[in-house]
Amino acid sequence: MEHQRPKIVDVARLAGVSTATVSRVLSNPQVVSAETRRLVEEAIRQTGYRLNLAARNLRHRRTGGVVALVPNLSNPFFSQILAGIASVLAPAGYNLLVADTRAEGGESLLAYAEPSRADGLIVLDGSLPAEGLSRRVPVVLACEWIPGLAAPRVKIDNRQGAVMAVEHLIELGHTRIAHVAGPPGNVLSEARLAGTEQALAAHGLPAPRVFPGDFTLESGRRAGAEWLAVPRAERPTAVFLASDAMACGFIGEVQHHGITVPRDVSVMGFDDIELVAHMTPPLSTIRQPREAIGRHAAQRLLDRIAGDDRADDTVLPVELVRRGSTGIVAETPV
Amino acid sequence: MEHQRPKIVDVARLAGVSTATVSRVLSNPQVVSAETRRLVEEAIRQTGYRLNLAARNLRHRRTGGVVALVPNLSNPFFSQILAGIASVLAPAGYNLLVADTRAEGGESLLAYAEPSRADGLIVLDGSLPAEGLSRRVPVVLACEWIPGLAAPRVKIDNRQGAVMAVEHLIELGHTRIAHVAGPPGNVLSEARLAGTEQALAAHGLPAPRVFPGDFTLESGRRAGAEWLAVPRAERPTAVFLASDAMACGFIGEVQHHGITVPRDVSVMGFDDIELVAHMTPPLSTIRQPREAIGRHAAQRLLDRIAGDDRADDTVLPVELVRRGSTGIVAETPV
DNA sequence: ACGCTGAATGCAACCGATTACAAAAAGAAC
DNA sequence: GTTCTTTTTGTAATCGGTTGCATTCAGCGT
């Protein structure tokens, strides 16, 4: 008879009711009498009817979905944030979709900021253009943020985290402390660098030697190579890197050249990704509450969707995690 | 005047043409005369008109999107596959959305397999129920697969990879070789275990001691603890783990207890995730062509969407990567 | 001047649900 | 039995583009 996908009128016909009633059974069952409801449900089962979302979305002018824009899915750092987001969104009836801003062309990203595609947007990438994003769907910024954009931000105190990291090194007796920065222009890079400088200055120590980096493993490795190239007597005895991934690259490189951590150099990371607890030595780092960041971001977005237009910031606490990669400064320089 | 989002009729009115013409300018510009087109484009600019995707999708009966279902976004293994997928999908005019099958409830996943939500599905998780998936949208399975489901599969030869790993260890002189398996029931776990057994048998060696695991870092750490608990004289001198993540956990644990890799134990992983090249020692492993897996999966999906109904398998080659974590068996057992 | 062809455009039905409003049915009260 | 509520159901407009078919008009041949 009908090879096509059944529509709501097919169900209605079979159940002997109008399409309106079928629709009510679907989205507002309690207004339909028990008997009619049973009839309709049976008809739905028999026809194998499935709702067409495009049609519902068109009528409702909403999509029931939220899109998260992530700079780089390969960074395990983001996945736990996404889990936190999903844990809040799912009970609220929204589903989460993730798009990688690196993988997709820059232009096409704005396509996600359409009310006809998503009801809201959680942006985890600070390098997106502000102008395209405003005036479209509700947006919340998490972790990174976009300077020009008035939207709620959920973040950590990056500067304070850096201060804690550097003070930990200072407590261990280090005075020549280097920093490996994140990508230039990135808001996180800048805050962490500023915190580093602030902590050193507060303790009367000279400004740090800064090696360039971009948060990636490979850039950490290069920083390691640069550190090795510094004459031994001048080498920083401690290095604070702006991401755990870079710290991994750094440690791998210097260990490969016979350096022992933390005897020859103490290393601090930032993020506390799962892996670094299992390295040899385990990495000392600054823990970000990733799950909580995700949960708060999702909650703020739900608020915004519900009409709350405040654009205030949520700042979550970080935590110093002392592990084996940092130690007291060597008594006798070899 | 109008506070509402402009629709196509607003543009049409301003340009002095019909909605049909505006629509044509949008989706089929060459059929409209140059002059009219200019007029319409100007009107679009002035009104700030943006297409409503729900409406277009409803009419077209397609969405222009593909959903990838990933078991666990925190595993960096998947992100490169996703990059490969996006690199094929984007030029074809499809956009990619990612959903984490762990983060979302099981039931809600089937909601993604709706033609009104996505034009196709790439499933990277073998643990999903087959029945819900068939008969909905075109599906391609990548990496893992679902035994009952007739859909094209893009995968590697897991058994052959395991054989290569074990033969590498045998060449180095090892005879007591252990395996740390993936989660029971997983198709990859089983193929890799089978390959391990096959290679050992082919060389007249006894069946491997098998430690349980589930691909995660933590389960690798536990396997390390179990290995340490084996009396020294009986300890396997080489361990092949079914994932790199587990190998990291394993090495971290045994190094923590004074074991030196590869002197005391050789360790092989599987996957070649970026990080393992930077560990100390760098991990020997089996490389999966992740980017290529993603590209092939996306291409097969496009084929399917275009009506190609074959359900054949694509098998991509793996590669043995020799690094520092494997070495010749120690001459004199300490 | 007249018919013919093809390009450009408009009309209006359509995609598949939702929902305001109206009508009908069922109870309640007297 | 009649009137007034309250509940249940149906009618038809609507969400916002798309497209088959019809129409208009310019250009061309005879």
Q: Which nucleotide is nearest to A59 (CA to C1')?
A: D15
What's the confidence (pLDDT) of residue B112? 84
Confidence at residue A107, expressed as pLDDT on a 0 to 100 scale: 62
pLDDT above 80: residue B213: yes
So what's the pLDDT on residue A334? 47
Q: What is the band of B331 on the pLDDT scale with cuts at 50, 70, 90?
A: low
Measured between CB atoms, which of B5, B105, B248 is closest to A90?
Answer: B105
Query: Same structural domain for residues B109 and B219?
Result: no
Residue among A126, A333, A110 nearest A231 (CA): A333
Predicted pLDDT at A135: 67
The pLDDT value recorded for residue A266 is 98
pLDDT class for B2, splitting at 50, 70, 90?
Answer: very low
Structural domain includes residue A256: yes
Distance from B89 to chain A by nearest Cα, in Å? 9
Residue B18 has pLDDT above 80, yes or no: yes
CB pair distance less than 8 Å for B111 and A95: yes
Same structural domain, A200 and A90: no
Q: Tell which residue, B164, B154, B170, has the closest CA to residue B269.
A: B164
Q: Do A278 and B217 touch (CB under 8 A)?
A: yes
Give pLDDT, residue B255: 96
- Specify the pLDDT at position B107: 61
User: What does the pLDDT read at residue A163?
Assistant: 98
Q: Is residue B333 part of a domain?
A: no
Q: Which residue type, as a one-letter code, is found at position B271?
A: D
* pLDDT score, position B136: 76
pLDDT of B322 over the 50 cut: yes
Distance CA A90, CA A107 (A): 29
Comparison of pLDDT for A112 and B207, the residue scoring more:
B207
Distance from CA of A174 to the nearest CA of B (A): 25
Overall average pLDDT of the A214-222 stretch:
96
By the 10 Å C-beta count (0-12 exposed, 13-18 middle, 19+ buried), B180 is classed as buried
Quote the mean pLDDT of chain A: 92
Q: In terms of domains, do B297 and B150 share one?
A: yes
- If you measure CA to C1', which residue is closest to nucleotide D16? B55
Residues 6+ apart with CB under 8 A from A91: none
Whether the Cβ atoms of residue A119 and residue B54 lie closer than 8 Å to each other: no
CATH code for the domain of A46:
1.10.260.40
Most confidently modeled range among A131-135, A162-166, B74-78, B328-332? A162-166
> Taking CB atoms and an 8 Å limit, are B73 and A115 in contact across chains?
no
Nucleotides of C under 7 A from a protein CB: 7-12, 14-20
Q: Is B72 helix (H, G, I), strand (E, B) or coil?
A: coil
User: Protein B11 CA to nucleic acid C10 C1', in Å?
Assistant: 15
Å from the A303 CA to the D13 C1' = 32
Asked whether residue B207 falls in the same domain as residue B102, the answer is no
Does A213 share its domain with A275?
yes
- CATH code, domain carrying B216: 3.40.50.2300
Do the domain assignments include residue B184?
yes
Q: Taking CB atoms and an 8 Å limit, are A82 and B103 in contact across chains?
A: yes
Tell me if A3 is assigned to some domain.
no
Q: Identify all chain B residues contacting A274, using CB atoms and an 8 Å cutoff.
A: 74, 217
B53 touches strand C (CB under 7 A): no
What is the model's pLDDT at position B100?
83
Nucleic strand D under 7 Å from the C-beta of A24: yes
Chain A CA closest to residue B52: A116
From the CA of A19, how many Å to the C1' of D12?
12
Report how many domains make up chain B. 3
pLDDT score for A35: 93
Quote the pLDDT of residue A1.
41
Residues B46 and B69 in one domain: no
Residue B162 lies in a domain: yes
More confident residue, B70 or B334: B70
8 Å CB contact of B54 and A90: no
Instruction: Give the list of residues 6+ apart from residue A16 with CB closer than 8 angstroms, or none.
Output: A39
Average pLDDT, chain B: 92
Q: How far is A330 from chain B (nearest CA, A)?
A: 22
How do residues B275-301 score in pLDDT, each as one tens digit? 999 999 999 999 999 999 999 999 999
pLDDT of residue A3: 56
Which neighbouring-strand residues pair with B155?
B315
CA distances from A262 to A196, A266, B45, B220, B253 (A): 20, 4, 61, 25, 18
Same domain? For A166 and A207 the reply is yes
Residue A207 has pLDDT above 80, yes or no: yes
H/E stretch holding B30 reads none
DSSP letter for A183, please.
S
Span CA (B7) to C1' (D26), Å: 32
Q: What is the mean pLDDT of residues A155-165?
A: 97
CA distance A141 to B117: 26
Residues A98 and A244 in one domain: no
Range from A77-91, A128-142, B99-113, B276-290 carrying the lowest mean pLDDT: B99-113
First CA to last CA distance, chain B: 88
A27 and A78 belong to one structural domain = no
Residue B1 has pLDDT above 50, yes or no: no
With respect to residue A141, please indicate whether it lies within any of the assigned structural domains.
yes
Average pLDDT over residues A299-324: 93
**A181 shares its domain with A300:** no
For the stretch B61-99, pLDDT in tens is: 999 999 999 888 777 788 889 989 999 998 888 988 888
Q: B25 CA to C2 C1', in Å?
A: 35
Give residue A332's pLDDT.
56
- Cβ-defined contact of A100 to B80 (cutoff 8 Å): no
**CB burial string B200-230: b at 16+ within 10 A, e below:** beeeebeebbebebbbbbbbbbbbbbbbbee
Whether A163 and A282 map to the same domain: the answer is yes
Give the chain B residue whose CA is nearest to the CA of A110. Answer: B50
**What are the chain A neighbours of B255 within 8 Å (beta carbons)?**
280
Question: Are residue A277 and residue A176 in the same domain, yes or no?
Answer: yes
Q: What is the pLDDT of residue A326?
A: 98
Least confident of A248-262, B92-106, B196-210, B292-306: B92-106
| A–B interface: beta-carbon pairs under 8 A | 159
- Tokens for A194, please give them: 């500023």
* pLDDT for B115 beyond 80: yes
Determine the residue of chain A that is closest to B79 in CA distance: A74
Mean pLDDT of B36-46: 95
DSSP result, B93-134: T-EEEEEETTTS-HHHHGGGG-TTT-SEEEE--TTS-HHHHT
How many angstroms is C1' of D10 away from CA of A21?
8
Is residue B186 domain-resident?
A: yes
| CA-to-CA dists, residue A153 to A86, A102, A139, A150, A205, angstroms | 18, 22, 9, 9, 33
What range does the domain containing B30 cover? Answer: 8-51
Residue A111 has a pLDDT of 79
Question: How would you class B13 by CB atoms within 10 Å of its CB: exposed for 0-12, middle for 13-18, buried for 19 or more?
Answer: middle
Phi, psi at residue B184, to the nearest 5°? Answer: -60, 140
CA distance B293 to A176: 46
Q: Which two tokens stand for residue B139?
A: 């599906």
Q: Within window 26-85 on B, which residues have Cβ closer than 7 Å to strand D? A: 26-28, 49-52, 55-56, 58-60
Nearest chain B residue to A324, by CA: B256
**B199 lies in a domain?**
yes
Q: Which of A246-260, B14-28, B298-312 has the lowest mean pLDDT?
A: B298-312
User: What per-residue confidence (pLDDT) applies to A102?
Assistant: 77
